[in-house]
């Protein structure tokens, strides 16, 4: 498979396209490696993972540059992504010895619980944040005693392949962590269907997530789904409107809007609507678009020509827009920052566009804001801008989404839980429960009777 730089359309690398036979061989190798890995003393497993984290840390810049070339991410963002993968490995290493069971009082004996590893885990990753999302599954799954087969997205396998090399250099057993670049319907599907795979961790579109969940049902295979979003950014009249407007562009333009948590529906209380739009215009048009290798760049290209066509199918560059930024001409899959004014029921206001496009919608009062916020099938994240702490709590509780932020757009910290309500997903990743999600709880009763 040819890997294309989305900023220049140049060939970056060519990688193997894994077959069903490759997947089968990888599962068998992984199963062998997992047995000895799970038998290691917890401290030894943790030490291996710390060495892996150190190897990632030593190669942080190289990994970031790979991400710039294969995904078109601005280099500052790519450095954060590589750092996130390292942090996840360190965090998971710290959790190995804390993955403890419980002792539950019973009559006539002792009752204890154990966290047993699942076996071989498949991590199927998307192209929008290739390194962090790979690490979100990889690190806790390994820490809990599993083997991991990672299928990166077709367009972005290079950082995943490099991570697997670094794992070997750091001394992780052969076969324990393998990368299978390849097509979703072939390598991805083979992992989902394989009887030797105990759990599938899928991050990607809701449509593919539904297919995977249906296939997993056949053998009651464990599944975690991190799917799409259409998150609201709710600005009340009592907010610091200047701050809210200054922060809004980052919340839907970062990663060129290819962010499952993008706040692509901006709901603004009518009394401050005009003021907010006045402030938003310069904030959007000054967002720095261009060469991802330039540290000053804030927004790069879209991932591919096909994805740009999808974004255009919602909003052609020639369609009327309230605000439109600039985009480079010529080679590369560029698309300008675009803000539309719309209604809650518009297709652009309910479907995930996954590009640098936001829809601004006015509302009258708190009840209407919550009603509009909840009027999609998704429920991944959202922001609430207000100076009233009671309102902040009320609205955060009323919005049906997994990750809310108040006076902020920050959604992801590796030590706090992350996941979606509704059709945004199933299960949680990250946070204190991350390792336990890769185990089965076993209950053992030991009779003390003679
Ligand atoms: P996608 O669903 O097209 O692909 C995701 C992965 O699934 C890729 O590796 C792909 O090869 C694989 N795949 C495709 N068809 C498959 C099949 N039939 N069987 C098994 N695997 C298959 O998604 P994408 O376009 O790569 O990613 C964008 C989507 O991911 C967006 O909807 C975005 O919101 C979502 N996303 C969600 C989160 C989250 O945490 N909730 C994070 C990032 C991205």
| DSSP per-residue letters across 79-121 | HHHHHHHHHHHHHHHHHGGG----EE--TTEEEEEEEEE-SEE
Task: Of 297, 275, 281, give the one whose Cα is nearest residue 248.
Answer: 281
CB-neighbour burial class of residue 322 (10 A; exposed 0-12, middle 13-18, buried 19+): middle
Dihedral in degrees, nearest 10, Cα atoms 324, 329, 332, 333: 30
| DSSP summary character for residue 55 | H
> How far does the centroid of ligand 1 lie from the alpha carbon of residue 184, in Å?
9
Residue whose CA is at the smallest distance from ligand 1 atom 4: 204
Give me 254's structure tokens: 């970062």
> How far does the centroid of ligand 1 lie from the alpha carbon of residue 205, in Å?
4
Residue whose CA is at the smallest distance from ligand 1 atom 35: 204
3-state secondary structure of 219: coil
Q: pLDDT means per 10 residues in the chain (450 residues)? A: 98 98 98 97 98 98 98 98 98 97 97 98 98 98 98 98 98 98 98 98 97 97 98 98 98 98 98 98 98 97 98 96 96 98 96 98 98 97 98 98 97 95 97 97 97
Pocket lining for ligand 1, CB < 6 angstroms: 124-129, 133, 151, 153-154, 184-185, 188-189, 192, 203-205, 208, 211-212, 226-229, 260, 352, 354, 380, 420, 424-425
pLDDT value, residue 411: 87
> Residues 257, 353: contact at Cβ < 8 Å?
yes
Neighbours of 13 (CB within 10 A): 15
Pairing of strands 199-203, 265-269: unpaired
Domains of the chain and any CATH numbers? 2-227+424-447 (3.40.605.10), 232-412 (3.40.309.10)
- The active-site residue, picked from 67, 81, 226, 352, is 226
Q: Does the active-site annotation cover 62? A: no
């Amino acid at each position: 498979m040819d890997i294309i730089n989305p900023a220049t359309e140049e060939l970056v690398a060519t990688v193997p396209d894994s077959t069903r036979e490759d997947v089968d061989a990888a599962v068998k190798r992984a199963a062998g490696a997992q047995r000895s890995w799970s038998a290691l003393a917890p401290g030894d497993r943790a030490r291996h993972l710390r060495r892996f984290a150190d190897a990632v840390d030593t190669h942080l810049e190289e990994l970031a540059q790979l991400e710039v070339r294969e995904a078109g991410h601005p280099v500052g963002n790519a450095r954060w992504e590589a750092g996130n993968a390292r942090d996840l490995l360190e965090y998971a290493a710290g959790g190995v010895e804390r993955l403890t069971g419980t002792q539950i009082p019973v009559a006539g004996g002792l009752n204890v619980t154990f966290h047993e590893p699942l076996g071989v885990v498949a991590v199927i990753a998307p192209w929008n944040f290739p390194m962090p999302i790979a690490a979100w599954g990889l690190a806790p799954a390994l820490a809990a005693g599993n083997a991991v087969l990672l299928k990166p997205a077709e367009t972005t396998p290079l950082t995943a392949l490099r991570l697997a090399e670094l794992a070997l250099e750091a001394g992780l057993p052969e076969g324990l962590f393998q990368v299978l670049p390849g097509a979703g319907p072939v390598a991805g599907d083979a992992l989902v269907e394989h009887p030797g795979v105990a759990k599938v961790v899928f991050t990607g579109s809701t449509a593919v997530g539904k297919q995977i969940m249906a296939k997993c049902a056949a053998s009651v295979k464990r599944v975690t789904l991190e799917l799409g979003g259409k998150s609201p950014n709710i600005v009340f009249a009592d907010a610091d409107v200047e701050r809210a407007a200054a922060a809004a562009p980052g919340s839907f333009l970062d990663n060129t809007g290819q962010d499952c948590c993008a706040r692509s529906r901006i709901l603004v209380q009518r009394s401050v609507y005009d003021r907010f739009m006045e402030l938003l215009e310069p904030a959007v048009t000054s967002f720095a678009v261009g060469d991802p290798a330039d540290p000053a760049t804030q927004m790069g290209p879209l991932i591919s020509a096909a994805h740009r066509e999808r974004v255009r199918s919602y909003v052609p560059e020639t369609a009327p827009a309230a605000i439109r930024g600039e985009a480079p001409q010529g080679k590369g899959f560029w698309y300008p920052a675009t803000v539309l004014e719309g209604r809650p029921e518009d297709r652009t206001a309910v479907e995930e566009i996954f590009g640098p496009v936001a829809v601004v919608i006015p509302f009258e009062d708190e009840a209407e804001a919550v009603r509009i916020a909840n009027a999609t099938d998704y429920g991944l994240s959202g922001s609430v801008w207000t100076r009233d702490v009671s309102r902040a709590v009320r609205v955060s509780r009323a919005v049906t989404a997994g990750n809310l932020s108040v006076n902020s757009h920050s959604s992801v910290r590796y030590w706090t839980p992350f996941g979606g309500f509704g059709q945004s997903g199933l299960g949680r990743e990250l946070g204190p429960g991350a390792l336990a999600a890769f185990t089965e709880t076993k209950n053992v009763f030991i009779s003390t009777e003679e």
